[in-house]
Chains A and B, each alone.
Chain A
């Protein structure tokens, strides 16, 4: 069964520093991978997605992620953190829920804190 593991429930960085949020997946078939961000008391906003093709994916707000099949990883990075990046980040994999249907399976999330 497909699953996602996010390493580190809480990451703290200084403003301007590199952001690295780790995600490893388990999938018996080529995965569709996503990163979502959740600000307090809000729903989920899609940051970026990997379906097929280029393994380096660029998203909104300066974030990007690289799909590495050999490492079963899809880590999220941003070169320079901004205070507004403070939020919870979820990695997700799209898996079949029956027939030709798909659902999202999420990791437990990583809370990003940005210090001034």
Chain B
């Protein structure tokens, strides 16, 4: 059974650029959720994908967007990067419609916007 993997592990971007982060869900899981964890804070829910459709969204602007593919892997895209987007981005996979019972997290992508 493979776990949740994210790529890249670290990334440095310039303000105004666009970034794509990737996540492979755990085998057998059909739901992927994305979280933003700013330094010293708890993770904040960005959005969730279930069977390739967005299935819930947190309080994040539209420049945060995503995709889920038929193999249930997922991408998080952020346009027009701002300095405040610097954070650890965590992907979590689960079975069923959302993290009602248990979510498994990847190691995260550390994004630095300069």
Interface residues of A (CB under 8 A from B): 32, 34, 36, 41-46, 49, 51, 90, 92, 94, 97-109
Contact = CB atoms under 8 A, between A and B. Distances in A.
Given A43-B105, A103-B33, 6 more contacts: A49-B102, A90-B42, A90-B43, A102-B98, A103-B45, A104-B43
B90 interface: yes
B65 interface: no
9 contacts: A43-B106, A97-B48, A98-B55, A98-B57, A100-B98, A104-B45, A108-B41, A109-B40, A109-B41
B16 interface: no
Contacts of A102: 97-100
| Interface of A: prevailing SS | strand
Given A90-B42, A90-B43, A46 B48 contact: no
B56 A98 contact: yes
Contacts of B44: 106
Interface residues of B, number: 31
B108 interface: yes
A105 B101 contact: no
Contacts of A49: 101-102
Contacts of A98: 55-57
Contacts of B19: none
A92 B90 CA distance: 15
A108 B40 CA distance: 8
A104 B101 contact: no
Nearest to A45: B105
A36, A44, A46: residue with the most chain B Cβ atoms closer than 10 Å: A44
Contact of B98 (A43, A51, A103, A109): A103
Nearest to B98: A102
Given A44-B43, A49-B102, A51-B101, A103 B48 contact: yes
